A and B are shown apart, each in its own frame.
Chain A
Amino acid sequence: MASQNSVMAYNDQVLVEEKSFTRILVLNRPKQLNALSYPMISRLLDLFVAYEADPNVKLIILKGNGRAFCAGGDVAAVVHDIRKANWKSGAQFFTKEFTLNYVIATNTKPQVSILNGIVMGGGNGVSMHGRFRVATETSVFAMPETALGLFPDIGASYFLSRLPGFFGEYVGLTGARLDGAEMLACGLATHFVPATKLSLLEEALYKVDSSDSNIISAIIDCYSQQPYLKDQSAYKRLDVIDRCFSRKTVEDILSALERESMSKADDWIKNTIQSLKKASPTSLKISLRSIREGRIQGVGQCLTREFRMVCHFMEGKLSKDFFEGCRAILLDKDRNPKWEPARLELISEGMVEQFFSRMDDEEWDDLKLPSRSNFVLPRHAIAKL
């Protein structure tokens, strides 16, 4: 019964359309805001791999059905699996997901993701690593993991760390939401297309018979606009963000923010401090270190490192904050997680270090990324290695 369900889910939760050399993949779980289930990830991985070998496929479009692109990985299901069996069954989800992220990051076929509506967590993992990311006026981006007792995973330590200045630290630690204009400004999106023009854009992309990035980019350009970046945008405070979020430790970042807030009353700074204080202290420290390491690593190294980290969170030996976060935000919804340790100063460098070590389990291996040596990768993929 379960297997029949999952076969159905495999086929129904990602819809595929074929238009000459273009393939349109539609995330189809609208009630769950297209949150990525295990069957969806499996299907996406199979499709991306198959398209690479298929000369009749030259372009991949990824979009969501309904008002969201994708709200993230189906974390509730992962927690359920772990409760039912053991942490390893939950970790399997990430094995598949991170492999998918890697295949997307190093794909030989260009991908255009239409980021209409919410794009969060795992949703960024299937889009940000692709060549083109189209934001709209309805886009809402976030990597909200620190509030959930986790850390920005799915290779976020690669792409967040490469945003201008220390914007990546800001976005990754606070879970700040960005709109389409902000996504374009900081480089998370490559284009901004008004939602009303999306169907025209898609139609134009159906006619593409080339994998050349320049050609595809030129087509999207035809429908693009320069959006208005709102005055209160965090991106307009890059100088403050750089001053504070460049600091060495989370504690230093917080005190830098507090110094700023003393020198002038500012709601944005207050809210920023507030979101840091609400987040799991363990998550904050680990996320900061992950982004800092990611800055000097390739995308594959980032994913294998993040996989180790996520396994530690699933195992729950070093920290139970992930389960507590899921309880408070997703299950009981009391929005009042009790983090353990509860304060930043209780978390030593040594404790953080443990999350980056290999799992102490002979039956558990590091993430083995698929070999890409038989492909001639496009330049933007080569640059990510």
Chain B
Amino acid sequence: MSSESPTDRASRRTRILSNHLTTSDLQVGGNSLQSNICLSYSPPELHEKIEFEVRKMRELLDVHNLRDRDWLFGLMMQSKLFNPQEKGGKVFVMPDFNHTKEQQREMTMKRIEYLLERGVFDGWLTTRGPETEMRKFAFMETLGIFDQSLAIKIGVHFFLWGGAIQFFGTKRHHDKWLRDTETYRIKGCFAMTELGHGSNVRGIETVATYDPKTDEFVITTPCESAQKYWIGGAANHATHTVVFSQLNINGRNQGVHAFIVQLRDFDGNICPNIRIADCGHKIGLNGVDNGRIWFDNVRIPRENLLNSVADVTPDGQYKSAIQDPDQRFAAFLAPLTSGRVTISLSAIYSAQIGLAIAIRYALSRRAFSFVPNEPEVLLLDYPSHQRRLLPLVAKTYAMTCAGNYLKKMYVKRTPESNKTIHVVSSGFKAVLTWHNMRTLQECREACGGQGLKTENQVGHLKGEYDVQSTFEGDNNVLMQQVSKALLGEFIAAKKKNKPFKGLGLEYMNEHWPVIPSQLTSDILRSSNFQITALRLRERDLLNRFAAEMSQHQSNGVNKEYAFALGYQLAEDLGRAFSDRIIFETFLNDEGTVSTGPMKDAVGKLRSLYALTCMEEDAAFLRYGYLSTEKAAAVRAEVAKLCSELRPHALGLVSSFGVPSAFLSPIAFNWIDSNAWSSSSA
């Protein structure tokens, strides 16, 4: 750049500008014989029509705390801490992923301190009720849109550490820890997973032994596989942790319990008898300081046992209101569902970011012409590109509604609804996080080479979000849990000859649903047909799964091994259940929209969602729910719906409500953001 004089630069700019003018003349006048014209960026806002009110559509998706979300977006956009960068005349905020992991961790902590100072966390642990919980969810979703590390680091502190104190602890713990946690005077982490045990929490090897002589517990890491692993916050910042450990009283193991242990003093020095090591650089989330912890006979006061479910008296008596260890363990872990709720939602918001970027790019990037010498065609005007992205938009809409349903169910939870929440959140966590990963991969490819640049998000996010299919329960394990729960319902209903009740299974008390013999376009788009098809699949798979289980068991296979053998149907059934509930929640939300262009668009999305489910799952053909002819009709209708939704594409992704600063340069003027003058700036 320095070698170019201002006059050269000026004349070059003039040349480029006059080329732009020629291009615009071309569009109007149609003289197509000019060669070598340069492309100009044509903003989708100018040539795409939006038929519905984006503000209303965003309300359908975001539902609650919209002003709070916007405020938080603004807090991040207006602070240098969030690394604002100007590209193509727009400002984007994004962590600097070129930083070392140590730098990224320090930035995450600084951002937390800034948000704390501005009052973002006010009342997170010191006030209760559905309103506070919904506000927290909204903030977590918004923070995750900036950076998954930031959301996770905050989530570990408030939802895992703070949640453990709230739900596993009693008044003495609340009084002592909650306020200090809310103000970050102490920084908490959550030591559950070990090197040798993840999803199978009951198998962990850390031991807490009660010493009645000193009124203390002694926490020990007996072997290397018992080291605590992946503990977010442990490597650098946490001052305290909740440790999950087997409780040993007088030589008797009472199962897994949770204890508070201080890890560092207030100067940041690691406490005696504790060793902490780093988990190292990761494929994503390097803004979170994951660590490993060993406990070398650490002594803690008896009061540090989180005793909401069980307690130990000073003389060493074990007391619990729940006698059955299985039930005790379930009651113990039930409150942790909030993790699966936030993960499901953050996955959906990530998919929204990916799609908003890929669709906006596809509305401004052209490739090849259908006719020689004609202008090249917008990517999104290719039916294949529509088929790649628009069903993912439809799914994201459906799953956003599903996520909202899950949130509502969670904040209104009662002891009776715990089981439903567990089953639904397990299914949704798996399906939504898988959907996000698939969406990001498709978006990355749909953006071509540009998708590979970290600044363009879609590729980079894959690394950031990959962990979601593993933490808070491996997705495959969760799917099996869903199927186990459904089987339980099935057996209960059949054996006791009682009707199905709950989990939306009531339809199984009716006659078997029937698919119409002719699948016209009208029928394919009717919610009646769609729900019938989804129910038929779920019901049949459940029956097959139950039959397979009883077959195995009558052959003398034990129950757990039978489940392991039945993995194929278990996985299919878990998905069928989740898809069906997702569809119902979406249909329900569609019902709240008043007649008009917005309802039309939502109706098409709902149909596209349902028909894509049918097109993609081989079970519909394998078990004959759809004949080959009907499956072909479904496929043709998917393509038709894609072309009908194409004109709404910009409106649909704008309604995700992700501000432009949180998208990426290729979503906007990617020619200008790549111009020489931008590179040298």
Contacts and interface: CB of A to CB of B under 8 A. Distances in A.
Interface of A: 161, 164-166, 210-212, 214-215, 218, 242-243, 246-248, 252, 289, 292-293, 295-296, 298, 300, 349, 371-377, 379-380, 382-383, 385
B66 to A, nearest CB: 9
Looking at A215, A243, A374, A379, the one whose CB has the most chain B CB atoms below 10 A away is A379
Given A295-B74, A296-B70, A379-B89, A218 B6 contact: yes
Interface in B3-36: 6, 9-10, 13-14, 17, 20-21, 23-24, 27-28
A376 B21 CA distance: 7
B480 to A, nearest CB: 42
A292 B672 contact: no
A246 B118 contact: yes
Nearest to B86: A383
Contact of A289 (B10, B67, B119, B668): B67
Interface string B645-681: 0000000000000011100000011001000000000
A298 B89 CA distance: 13
Contact of B73 (A211, A296, A298): A296
Given A247-B119, A376-B21, A379-B669, A385 B75 contact: no
B119 A382 contact: no
Contacts of A298: 45, 660
B516 interface: no
B67 A382 contact: no
B669 A383 contact: yes
A383 B13 contact: no
Contacts of B27: 374
Contacts of B661: 296
B471 to A, nearest CB: 30
A248 B20 contact: no
A165 B75 CA distance: 8
B78 A165 contact: yes
Interface class of chain B by DSSP? helix
B319 interface: no
A376 B20 contact: yes
A344 B117 CA distance: 24
B463 interface: no
Given A376-B42, A383-B669, 14 more contacts: A210-B10, A212-B13, A214-B10, A214-B13, A289-B67, A292-B70, A295-B78, A296-B77, A296-B660, A374-B27, A376-B21, A376-B24, A376-B40, A382-B88
A290 to B, nearest CB: 11
Contacts of A289: 67
B73 A385 contact: no
B67 A349 contact: yes
Interface string B73-99: 111011100000000111000000000
Contacts of B21: 376
Contacts of A243: 117
Given A212-B13, A296-B70, A383-B90, A246 B78 contact: yes
Instruction: Rank and list the top 9 A-B pairs by shortest CB-CB distance, nearest first.
Output: A383-B89, A296-B659, A385-B45, A373-B46, A376-B24, A379-B672, A376-B20, A295-B74, A383-B90
Contacts of A380: 89
A187 to B, nearest CB: 12
B532 to A, nearest CB: 38
Contacts of A383: 88-90, 668-669, 672
Contact of A295 (B20, B45, B68, B77): B77
A377 B24 CA distance: 10
A166 B10 contact: no
B14 A210 contact: yes
Contacts of B672: 379, 382-383
A205 to B, nearest CB: 16
Nearest to A165: B78
Contacts of A211: 17
Interface string B86-114: 00111000000000000000000000000
B485 to A, nearest CB: 40
A382 B670 CA distance: 11
Contacts of B6: 214, 218
Contacts of A164: 78
Looking at A165, A166, A293, A382, the one whose CB has the most chain B CB atoms below 10 A away is A382
A212 B10 contact: yes
A380 B672 CA distance: 10
A379 B672 CA distance: 7
A295 B73 contact: yes
B512 interface: no
B193 to A, nearest CB: 36
10 contacts: A247-B118, A248-B71, A295-B78, A298-B660, A371-B46, A375-B24, A376-B23, A379-B89, A380-B89, A382-B668
A262 to B, nearest CB: 18
A295 B84 CA distance: 14
A247 B119 CA distance: 8
Given A252-B119, A373-B47, A166 B14 contact: no
B280 interface: no
A124 B59 CA distance: 32
B67 A292 contact: yes
A371 B49 CA distance: 11
B43 A214 contact: no
Contacts of A374: 24, 27-28
B118 A292 contact: no
B41 interface: yes
A383 to B, nearest CB: 3
A42 to B, nearest CB: 25
Nearest to A384: B89
B351 to A, nearest CB: 20
Looking at B43, B78, B119, the one whose CB has the most chain A CB atoms below 10 A away is B78
B79 A165 contact: yes
Looking at B40, B43, B672, the one whose CB has the most chain A CB atoms below 10 A away is B43
Contacts of B74: 161, 246, 292, 295-296
Contacts of A210: 10, 14
A366 to B, nearest CB: 9
A102 B205 CA distance: 67
Contacts of A161: 74
A373 B23 CA distance: 13
A374 B40 CA distance: 13
Contacts of B668: 382-383
Given A210-B14, A211-B17, A376-B24, A248 B68 contact: yes
A376 B22 CA distance: 10
A292 B76 CA distance: 12
Looking at A214, A372, A373, A376, the one whose CB has the most chain B CB atoms below 10 A away is A376
Nearest to A296: B659
Contacts of A379: 88-89, 669, 672
A94 B669 CA distance: 31
Contacts of B119: 247-248, 252
Nearest to B25: A376
A252 to B, nearest CB: 7
Looking at B20, B67, B672, the one whose CB has the most chain A CB atoms below 10 A away is B67
A102 B79 CA distance: 28
Interface string B547-579: 000000000000000000000000000000000
Contacts of B17: 211-212
Nearest to B678: A379
A168 to B, nearest CB: 9
A311 B659 CA distance: 26
Contacts of B46: 371-373, 377, 385
Contacts of A376: 20-21, 23-24, 40, 42
Nearest to A209: B14
A90 B10 CA distance: 46
A376 B88 CA distance: 15
B139 to A, nearest CB: 11
Given A295-B77, A374-B24, A382 B70 contact: no
Contacts of B42: 376
B9 to A, nearest CB: 7
Contact of A212 (B14, B68, B669): B14
